[in-house]
Amino acid sequence: MTAVKESGRKPLEHFAERSVAGLVGIAAVGVAFGLLLMLVRFKWGPLYDVDHGIAEWFNGLVSPHHALVTVLQAVTDLGGRPVLIWLVTIAVIGLLIRRQSRLAVYLIITGVGGLILDPSLKALVGRLRPVVDVPVASAPGNSFPSGHALGSFVAYGALLLVFLPAMAPRWRRPAIAIVAVLVALVGLTRVALGVHFVSDVLAGWLLGALWLALTAYAFRLWRRERGRTVPPLSEGLEPEAGHEISPAPDEERVLAHPRSAIAELVVGWVLVFGALYGFGMFVSYHAKGTFFDTLDTEVPRWFADRHTDPLTDLSWWWSKFGDTHAILLVSLVFCPIVLAIWRRWRPVLFVVLAMFGELSLFLASARVVERPRPPVENLDGQMPTSSFPSGHIAATICLWTAMAIIVFARTDRWWRWLFVAMAVIMPVGVATSRMYRGMHHPTDFMGAILLGALWLGLLYWVVKPNADVYEGNRPSIESEDVHTLDDELAKAARPE
């Protein structure tokens, strides 16, 4: 009866209740920050000494060790905006695909709130960053509070609350512990790198905890007003959505025979490497007077004679499409979306193995062949690897062909041909730009094609990335229903 009465209250009363809860939370944040801000502003002796003493101690400990600085930078990046925005964005898209729009709205509101609080409070406080004897890192803007500490607490905490129901009960406590350790490490790295004081990090954690608690409370209040049970937070925000938000709820095992598959891939990798080694050694050192020699001599010269500033700029951008960052970015967008739509790990495994195999085959082949770059101007300067095969071209071939293989079999819509076209256009564009810039011979391009064709063919035979489709698996959202995602999001955001 209570739930029925609550759900029958006037909208104005609902608004008043939420407003009171929000004001209480904001007042608590204001009191905590007011106290800490006053101590920082007036340079309270004990706090000042602790902040500067710890900053100097960490600087003396970290600055002599470049490897340690690299590790700290890698950890601190996990709390940076690029990583956090990618995680939340991909999670929101996945939730919308699975038709969990309320959870998507929760992530959006919580994440946007964290983005607003950080710069606004930094501008309000205006505290300068630490000045250490040996700077090992730098960061723009003011110091108080730590945006990395705030953002990691809010983003990882919100994702944890949303996806806890998708985990088995025995894994929930370890997941909570892992997130807590990760947030703590991100905050620690900010102090160790000398870009924040301890009080900055504590303030970020405090504000992140309060904002996360406020948004979680509002979500739980919404559930109670609609007569739904309000479970403990250890079970997540919506326990009943556990099956829907599970990455692959109906997949018993990724591969039917994993041991034999591993053996086949290892043997296949060795054979592909052998083919690359044989072809690479031939075109590099034993093809004098052949068609390959003429091609490798004339084509780089032809491109070098036609250098212009506009074409050089264009070739730089095309070349970037094949570098590690671009390949990784496309993979990190494509794989989660495929997982959300088709609820299977196998196509994701296909892409991951395609890129891992390409990278290992490229590095191994380049190391043993050690082919010099073309004898023309190398616009990218000295490179850490040799010329054969082209890593940019091979990575582009493997990524876009793998995506085309997955998408083409999983939809009958016209846009699947776009992936097929991109599997041709992207490698050709990257190959042309790399040869124009004098970084590769035409036979390096051929080596990349050989690598991609043999390795992807082996993976397709072993992994069978589209087996679930042929067995009748249907996507969570049909391609013709994509336009309904915006409607669901708008509906979830409207008060009922």
**Contact between residue 321 and residue 426 where contact means Cβ atoms under 8 Å apart:** yes
| Claim to verify: residue 225 and residue 269 sit in the same structural domain | no
Mean pLDDT across the stretch 202-229?
A: 81
**Verdict on whether the full-model pTM lies above 0.95:** no
How is residue 99 written in tokens?
């038709």
244 band by pLDDT with thresholds 50, 70 and 90: confident
Whole-number Å distance between alpha carbons of 217 and 117: 18
Mean pLDDT of the chain: 83
CA distances from 99 to 72, 105, 167, 338, 476 (A): 38, 11, 19, 15, 9
| Distance in angstroms (rounded) separating the CA atoms of residues 43 and 215 | 33
Percent of the chain with pLDDT over 70: 87
Same domain assignment for residues 232 and 281 = no
The verdict on 81 and 215 lying in the same domain is: yes
Instruction: For residues 448 and 312, state if they share a domain.
Output: yes
- Are 265 and 238 members of one domain? no
pLDDT of residue 28: 64
When pLDDT is cut at 50, 70 and 90, the band that residue 487 belongs to is: low
- Same domain flag for 335 and 207: no
- Domain match, 264 and 230 both: no
* One domain, residues 409 and 433: yes
Tokens at residue 350, please?
A: 């296909």
Pair 302, 265 in one domain: yes
* Same domain membership, residue 275 and residue 227: no
Place 289 in a pLDDT band, splitting at 50, 70 and 90.
Answer: confident
Asked if residue 223 and residue 268 are part of one domain, the reply reads: no
Q: What is the mean pLDDT of residues 185-206?
A: 87
Q: How many domains does the chain have?
A: 2
Tens of pLDDT, residues 260-282: 999 999 999 999 999 999 999 99
Segment 243-247 long-range contacts (CB within 8 Å, at least 24 positions apart): 244/98, 244/99, 244/100, 245/94, 245/95, 245/98, 245/100, 245/103, 245/162, 245/163, 245/165, 245/166, 246/166, 246/343, 247/166, 247/339, 247/340, 247/343, 247/345
For residue 422, name the pLDDT band (cuts at 50, 70, 90): very high
- Reported as a single tens digit per residue, the pLDDT across 76-89 is 888 888 889 999 99
Give the residue numbers spanning the domain of 172.
2-245
Domain end position, chosen among 198, 224, 245:
245
Q: Between these two residues, 185 and 142, which has the higher pLDDT value?
A: 185
The residues, ordered by sequence, that sit 6+ positions from 162 with a Cβ below 8 Å of its Cβ are 91, 95, 103, 106, 107, 236, 237, 238, 245
Q: Is residue 482 part of a domain?
A: no
- Does one domain contain both 123 and 102? yes
In this prediction, what percent of the chain has a pLDDT beyond 90?
Answer: 33
pLDDT at site 23? 52
pLDDT at res. 173: 87
Residue 400: per-residue pLDDT: 96
> How many residues are listed for the chain in this entry?
496
Task: Compute the distance between CA of residue 25 and CA of residue 21 in angstroms, rounded to an integer.
Answer: 6
Measured distance CA(389)–CA(442) in Å, rounded? 10
Q: Which pLDDT band holds residue 257 (cuts at 50, 70, 90)?
A: confident
Q: List pLDDT tens digits, range 331-390.
A: 989 999 988 888 889 999 999 999 999 999 999 999 999 999 998 988 888 887 888 999
Reply yes or no on whether the pLDDT at 24 is more than 70.
Answer: no
> pLDDT, tens digit, for every residue of 206-216?
888 888 888 88
**pLDDT of 234:** 76
Does residue 490 form part of some domain?
A: no
What tokens does 433 get?
Answer: 């730009």
Task: Give a yes or no: residue 73 inside a domain.
Answer: yes
Say if 116 falls within a structural domain.
yes
